[in-house]
Amino acid sequence: MYEFDWSSIPGALPLLAKGLMVTFEVTLTAIVVGIVWGTLLAVARLSSNKLVSFAAASYVNLFRSVPLVMVILWFYLIVPQLLRSVFGDALGDIRLASALIAFSLFEAAYYSEIIRAGIQSVARGQIAAGLALGMTYAQTMRLVVLPQAFRNMTPLLLTQAVILFQDTSLVYVIGLSDFFGTAYKVGDRDGRLVELLLFAGAIYFIISFAASQLVKRLESRYAR
Amino acid sequence: MIEINQVSKWYGSFQVLTDNTTRINTGEVVVVCGPSGSGKSTLIKCVNGLEAFQQGTITVNGVSVGDPATNLAKLRSHVGMVFQHFELFPHMSITENLTIAQTKVLGRSQDEAVSKGLALLDRVGLRAQADKFPGQLSGGQQQRVAIARALAMDPICMLFDEPTSALDPEMINEVLDVMVELAQEGMTMMCVTHEMGFARKVAHRVVFMDHGQIVEDAAKDAFFGTPRSERAQQFLSKILNH
């Protein structure tokens, strides 16, 4: 019978907290950049310009058709060289930079699909009304369509953020010490892998479940 | 003011408008009627370029709508339009609905836009609703706000696309009253509507469309007296005798 020994956790808490901050940093960056870039992609995809819409569709389809782990690895192999050739060796943690970029670009593809559906959920007559008042297409999008679209899709965007929060654990493949990576390293060091991974899993569960419940409450409020 | 000259339009190979010609002079009120699917809504949307057309020309105040060089946004900013489903912006208060285009399109100051918006709201009898949201208003009230929103841009003419078709019967009159008042003040108006009472009261001319074509274009009295086309006679007998 396996005997649990949780004693290595208290001492590792500062390290684990640092790891959790990295996890949050990747998550928040990917949410913000992903939504901004995803919005541009969604608008481009709905554009009447065939070339623009094709380019956006290709981007989205490409990123949605490859595993996230591979994207993270690819960017780790490409981005550092690219950044080094620009900035020299003055860079900080190259792994964090490449992870931030990989997640942002990858999530943008998923966000853009959510946002596209959100834009299409706004009645077409609203665009006509904006244009009829003399607004440009861009003004109509920004002032009339997108505010309504975001309101309709807030629950979906938040749900995607919860998934993203869990997916950031994949950065372990490039050795970045996020929450999961730190837990793994501490457990490995102390020979207490099972305890550390159970603990990490519990924390992921608590945060994700709490966030999901929050989304549910938001949803029922919007549905009213 | 509005000159529509031999306008035709196709959706793919399906022709929705065929060789339509008519004009609306400054100060004139023209009612466009006809059975549903006759192309009247499509035609009125061509006037401010919300719908493209493939043949013919439309000029509004001397500006060609179909010309790719035309700044459509600028043209639309002084051509008011009222829609069947109101199309107020649901995420903005009534006041914001009335001011957004004034500030963002015409570049008016917030103060100027608000006082103009509230004055027009007063005029359509809804001053008390200024801080509410569109969803809190009845259909008739929303449509009156929509008219005020269009008027806030100081339009040179107004387009009405079935403004009362989506309303409960008891709300139709409050909207028509605003339109009648507007017509009596000399606003140039093109109205797609089935409200023949409104047409009799204020229209100068009535245009009757069927199957994408203008079948009859006559002065009001001539139209209601003795429409020349059989199709218009049938239409009139159907909607007047019930």
Q: Would you say residue A135 has pLDDT above 80?
A: yes
B94 Cα to chain A: minimum distance (Å):
14
Average pLDDT, rounded, for chain A: 90
- Nearest-Cα residue of chain A relative to residue B102: A133
Predicted confidence at residue B150, as pLDDT, reads 96
Q: Would you say residue A61 has pLDDT above 90?
A: yes
Q: Would you say residue A12 has pLDDT above 90?
A: no
Strands B205-210 and B213-219: antiparallel
B107 contacts chain A (CB < 8 A): no
Closest CA to B98 of B165, B144, B57: B144
Predicted confidence at residue A224, as pLDDT, reads 54
Closest CA to B1 of B159, B170, B115, B163: B159
B66-85: average pLDDT: 93
The whole-angstrom separation of Cα B23 and Cα B30 is 9
Closest CA to B160 of B106, B199, B116: B199
Predicted confidence at residue A88, as pLDDT, reads 66
CB contact under 8 A, B89 and A144: yes
Q: Would you say residue B232 has pLDDT above 70?
A: yes
What topology does CATH give the domain A12-222? MetI-like fold (1.10.3720)
Query: Which two tokens mark A148?
Result: 């309504």
Strands B205-210 and B29-33: parallel
Task: Please count the CA atoms within 13 angstroms of the CA of B81 that sit on its side-chain side.
Answer: 29
B74-78: average pLDDT: 94
DSSP secondary structure, B108-153, as one string: --HHHHHHHHHHHHHHTT-GGGTTS-GGGS-HHHHHHHHHHHHHTT
**Contact by Cβ (8 Å): B224, B205:** no
Predicted confidence at residue B181, as pLDDT, reads 93
Place of tokens 């006037």: B47
The whole-angstrom separation of Cα B226 and Cα A5 is 100
Residue ranges with strand state E in chain B: 2-11, 14-24, 29-33, 55-60, 63-64, 79-82, 157-161, 189-192, 205-210, 213-219
How high is the ipTM of this complex?
Answer: 0.92
Nearest CB partner across the interface for A134, out of B45, B76, B89:
B76
Q: Please give the model's pTM, rounded to 2 decimal places.
A: 0.84
Predicted confidence at residue A92, as pLDDT, reads 66
CB contact under 8 A, B50 and A132: yes
**Residues B121-178: pLDDT tens digits?**
999 999 999 999 999 999 999 999 999 999 999 999 999 999 999 999 889 999 999 9
How far are the Cα atoms of B17, B35, B42, B53 from residue B6, in angstroms, in the given order?
A: 10, 21, 14, 11
Q: Would you say residue B116 has pLDDT above 70?
A: yes
**Residues B12-64: pLDDT tens digits?**
899 999 999 999 999 999 999 998 889 999 999 999 999 999 999 999 999 99
Confidence of residue A5 (pLDDT cuts 50, 70, 90): confident
Q: What are the boundaries of each domain within chain A?
A: 12-222
Output phi, psi for B57, to 5 deg.
Answer: -135, 150
Q: Would you say residue A62 has pLDDT above 80?
A: yes
Query: Which two tokens mark A3?
Result: 């005997």
Average pLDDT, rounded, for chain B: 92
| Percent of chain B predicted with pLDDT > 90 | 81
Closest CA to B183 of B99, A116, A130, B193: B193
B50 contacts chain A (CB < 8 A): yes
Provide the number of CB pairs (under 8 Å) joining chain A to chain B.
62
CB contact under 8 A, A129 and B83: yes
What is the DSSP-derived secondary structure letter of residue B17? E
Q: Would you say residue A161 has pLDDT above 70?
A: yes
How far are the Cα atoms of A9, A124, B4, B30, B85 from residue B16, in angstroms, in the given order?
A: 74, 20, 15, 21, 22
CB contact under 8 A, B104 and A143: yes
Residue B223, beta-bridge partner list? none
